[in-house]
Structure 1
Amino acid sequence: MKRILGLTSIRSDYDLMSGVYRALHNDPAVDLRLLVSGAHLSPQFGRTVDLIVADGFALLGDVESLISGDSKSSRLKTAANLLNGAIDLVRAYAPDLMIFAGDREDVLVAATIGAFLDIPTVHFFGGDHAADGHVDNPVRHATSKLSTAHFVSIDEHRRRLLSLGESDRRIVVIGSVALDKFASEPPLSKEAVLQDMQAKPHAAEHPLAVLIFHPVDQERARAPSFVRDAVNAMVERGYHVMVGAPNPDPGNNDLVEALRELGQLDQVTYYGNTSRANFVNLMRHASLMIGNSSAGLLEAASVRLPVINIGERQRGRTCGANVLFCDGDRTAIELALDTVRGEAFTAILSGLINPYGDGRSASKAAELLKSTDFRALIKKTEDPIHACQ
């Protein structure tokens, strides 16, 4: 039996990988365990470890790593706590393989543990890149350099890893495993979803807009005004706005305060966190997604949902024609809203295909994770000088 350890620290990376985890969990030839840390264990961020337990996955353990200090140093301290708390758990389990996804500090920790404990690792979603200058970009690339192998979404990401000196034999273009949930989650009615999410009365009578806005250091002072202007502009146009919680990065305190304040409006529901089934069906029933979440760029095209990305976060990333980028001032947001509601933009959505895949990647990934001899790849002897020649 192959022992595979998944590491997850936040709702977003768990949601990305849940289809892979399910396929591995259902395979009798695999012993899958999850090591849970970070925001998953924090009541402030919804204690989303409960969703993992409800999904039936076996936990190797949990590490209470999150320093919710709303400062730049808090992310470093969180990473240090995870490194210190996870080493002995991983060493004792002695997995045949570790898997992790994305670009947060916890994946850098995971890749470091694998490298130093001589455990093969597979990094999902490597090779992506945004032009926003956020620290997540170099963290993603550094994680890739420490990882044994890479399951990437599109060929552009493969080419970027090649340019970083990674060998082509380590890279598999698998499509985005985050999209499988749109094929696997059963449909729920708009009314049932809103009731379960405790939406405001009469929300179902309005077109729905999903707002998710994460803090970005260079926009920290302006973020509350961004979301206030966005919500007010949408309410004026008749939307009921469903507001998700931001991630725990520096700047989230002021942002959460603004979002909770907006949640007092009759036309706004602050739901914070919700189940995967609810979120998938909310996207199916929504008329708009707005904010700066990666779900807008990577996933919304699967349900032909128009997206307005506000501010600097996510700029430069590959996305479908359903995504419109705008600045954070009220005038820019109103212009973007009027554009996505127009006939020309609506016509674009009718033939939209998600550039990140067709929703059939998780089972492929799980089979490769089970059958590939990653131990044979663990020694990274390639010289980056010659990698692109």
Structure 2
Amino acid sequence: MKRILGLTSIRSDYDLMSVVYRALHEDPDVELRLLVSGAHLSPQFGRTIDLIMADGLPLLGDVETLINGDTQSSRLKTAANLLSGSIDLIRAYAPDMMIFAGDREDVLVAATIGAFLNIPTVHFFGGDHTTDGHVDNPVRHATSKLVTAHFVSIDEHRHRLMHLGEPEHRISVIGSVALDKFVSEPLLNKAAVLQEMKGKPHAATNPLAVLIFHPLDQERAVAPDYARNAVDALIARGYHVMVGAPNSDPGNSELFNTLLKLGQREQVTFYGNTSRACFVNLMRHAALMIGNSSAGILEAASVRLPVINIGERQRSRTCGKNVIFCGGDKKEIEAALDTVGTAEFQASLSALVNPYGDGRSALKAVALLKSLDLASTIKKTEDPLHAS
């Protein structure tokens, strides 16, 4: 039996990997454990460890790491807490491999632990790239140089890793496992979704716009204004705005308070965090997604949902034709709303195909995790100077 340890520290990375984790847990040839840390344990960010427990997935343990100081140094100290707090748990469990997803500091910590403890590691969603200047981008690439193998979403990401000096035999293109939930999650009607998310009465009779806005260091001073501008523009167009909580990156405090205050309006529901089933069905019933979440870039195309990405976050990532980018000025947001509301734009959605896959990637990932002999390739002897 192969022992696999998944590491998760925030709602978003767990949501990306949840179908993979479930499939591994149900496989009789695999012993899955999760090591849970970071924002998962924070009441402010929804204590999303409860969602993991509700999914019935077994934990190796939980490590309290989050220092919510809303600064870059507090984020770095959180990473240090994860490193020091999880080493002994991982060493004692001695998994056959560790798996993790994304571009936060947690994956860099996990990859470092694997490299030093000689535990094979598999990184999901490597090889992606943005030009927004966020530290997560080089963190993603640095992680790629430490891990044993890469499960990437599209061929572009494979080529980027090869340009970083990673040999092709370490890279598997499987599509995005984040899309599998759109296939596996049952359909809920709009009324059931709004009841679960405590939607206000206005939501039942108006089109839904999903607003998710995360902090970006260089937009820290203007992000609250961007959020207010978006909500004002959406309300003026007759939308009910369903607002999610920002992540725990520096700059979250003022943004969180702004979104919470906007949630006091009758045309706005601040739901904060919700279950995977509710979020998938919220996207199914929404008329629009707006903000700067990767869900708009990676996932919205699977339900042919128009997306307006505000500001610099997510710039230059591959995305479907359902996504348009704009600045945070109210007039720019209104112009973007005009564009997505045209008959031509709406008609183009009927032929939309998600460039990241068809929602059937998790089983590919599980088959590879079971079959690959990662122990024999854990030593990275390749010289980037002579990479093919």
Q: For each residue in 1:167-193, what CA deviation from the matched residue of structure 2 results, as whole angstroms up to 9, or x when unmatched? A: 100000000000000000000000000
Distance across 2 between alignment mates of 1:180 and 1:264 = 34
Q: For each residue in 1:32-70, what CA deviation from the matched residue of structure 2 results, as whole angstroms up to 9, or x when unmatched? A: 000000000000100000000000000000110001000
Q: For each residue in 1:309-367, what CA deviation from the matched residue of structure 2 results, as whole angstroms up to 9, or x when unmatched? A: 00000000000000000001011000001110111111111100000000000011011
Distance across 2 between alignment mates of 1:2 and 1:383 = 30
* 1:98 aligned partner: 98
Distance across 2 between alignment mates of 1:260 and 1:48 = 18
**Aligned partner of residue 201 in structure 2, secondary structure:** coil
Q: Do residues 136 (structure 1) and 118 (structure 2) align?
A: no
Superposed, which structure 2 residues align to 1:310-321 within 5 Å? Answer: 310-321=310-321
Distance across 2 between alignment mates of 1:123 and 1:308 = 29
Query: What amino acid does structure 2 have at the position aligned with 1:320?
Result: G
Q: Do residues 264 (structure 1) and 264 (structure 2) align?
A: yes
TM-score calculated relative to the size of structure 1? 0.99
* 1:324 aligned partner: 324
Superposed, which structure 2 residues align to 1:78-117 within 5 Å? Answer: 78-117=78-117
Distance across 2 between alignment mates of 1:119 and 1:160 = 25
Distance across 2 between alignment mates of 1:84 and 1:351 = 49
Query: What amino acid does structure 1 have at the position aligned with 2:99?
Result: I
**Aligned partner of residue 16 in structure 2, secondary structure:** helix
* 2:344 aligned partner: 344
Equivalent residues, number: 388
Pairwise CA distance, 1:202: 3.2
Distance across 1 between alignment mates of 2:144 and 2:361 = 20
Distance across 2 between alignment mates of 1:92 and 1:149 = 23
**Aligned partner of residue 44 in structure 1, secondary structure:** coil
**Aligned partner of residue 45 in structure 1, secondary structure:** coil
Distance across 2 between alignment mates of 1:201 and 1:370 = 48
Pairwise CA distance, 1:380: 0.5
TM-score calculated relative to the size of structure 2? 1.00
Pairwise CA distance, 1:236: 0.5
* 1:210 aligned partner: 210
Pairwise CA distance, 1:291: 0.1
Identify unmatched segments of 5+ residues in structure 1.
none
* 1:166 aligned partner: 166
Q: For each residue in 1:117-152, what CA deviation from the matched residue of structure 2 results, as whole angstroms up to 9, or x when unmatched? A: 000000000000001111011000000100000000
Superposed, which structure 2 residues align to 1:1-389 within 5 Å? Answer: 1-388=1-388
Query: What amino acid does structure 2 have at the position aligned with 1:204?
Result: A
Cα contact 2:229–2:330 (8 A) shared by 1:
yes
Pairwise CA distance, 1:371: 1.5
Distance across 1 between alignment mates of 2:301 and 2:377 = 35
Distance across 2 between alignment mates of 1:168 and 1:60 = 32
Cα contact 2:202–2:266 (8 A) shared by 1:
no
**Aligned partner of residue 112 in structure 1, secondary structure:** helix
**Aligned partner of residue 250 in structure 1, secondary structure:** coil
Distance across 2 between alignment mates of 1:367 and 1:5 = 16
Distance across 1 between alignment mates of 2:125 and 2:284 = 24
Distance across 1 between alignment mates of 2:350 and 2:71 = 43
Query: What amino acid does structure 2 have at the position aligned with 1:306?
Result: P
Distance across 1 between alignment mates of 2:72 and 2:321 = 34
Pairwise CA distance, 1:201: 1.4
Cα contact 2:301–2:322 (8 A) shared by 1:
yes
Distance across 1 between alignment mates of 2:339 and 2:355 = 22
